[in-house]
Amino acid sequence: MRVTNVGLIGYGMAGSTFHAPVIAAVEALRLTAVATSRSTDVARDLPGVAAVDSPDGIFADPAIELVVIATPNPTHFDLAQRALQAGKHVVIDKPMTTTTADADELIALAAKCGRLLSVYQNRRWDNDFLTVKALVDAGRLGHVYAYEAHYDRYRPAIKPGWRERPQPGSGILFDLGSHLIDQALFLFGMPETVMADVFAQRAEARVDDYFHVILSYRDRRAIVHASTLVREPGPHFAVHGDGGSFLKYGMDGQEAALKAGRPVGGPDWGRDDPAAYGTLVNADGERETIETLPGTYVAFYAGMAAAIAGEAPVPVSAEQARNVIAIIELAQRSAVERRTIAV
pLDDT tens digits for range 15-61: 999 999 999 999 999 999 999 999 999 999 999 999 999 999 999 99
Give me the sign of the Cα torsion angle 73, 77, 81, 87.
Answer: positive
Contact 188, 320 (CB under 8 A): no
Contact 339, 63 (CB under 8 A): no
Q: How far is CA 282 from CA 139, 166, 224, 239, 240, in A?
A: 11, 46, 24, 12, 10
* Angstrom distance (rounded) from CA 176 to CA 199: 14
Map out the domains of the chain with their CATH numbers. 4-120 (3.40.50.720), 123-296+327-342 (3.30.360.10)
* Angstrom distance (rounded) from CA 298 to CA 265: 7
* Angstrom distance (rounded) from CA 204 to CA 165: 11
The CB density around residue 59, as the number of other CB atoms within 10 Å, is 20
pLDDT confidence band for 164 (50 / 70 / 90): confident
Q: Give per-residue pLDDT as tens, 86-123.
A: 999 999 999 999 999 999 999 999 999 999 999 999 99
pLDDT confidence band for 160 (50 / 70 / 90): confident
Put simply, whether the predicted model's pTM sits higher than 0.75 gets the answer yes
Residue 306, pLDDT above cutoff 90: yes
The CB density around residue 25, as the number of other CB atoms within 10 Å, is 18
* Angstrom distance (rounded) from CA 254 to CA 127: 9
SS3 154: strand
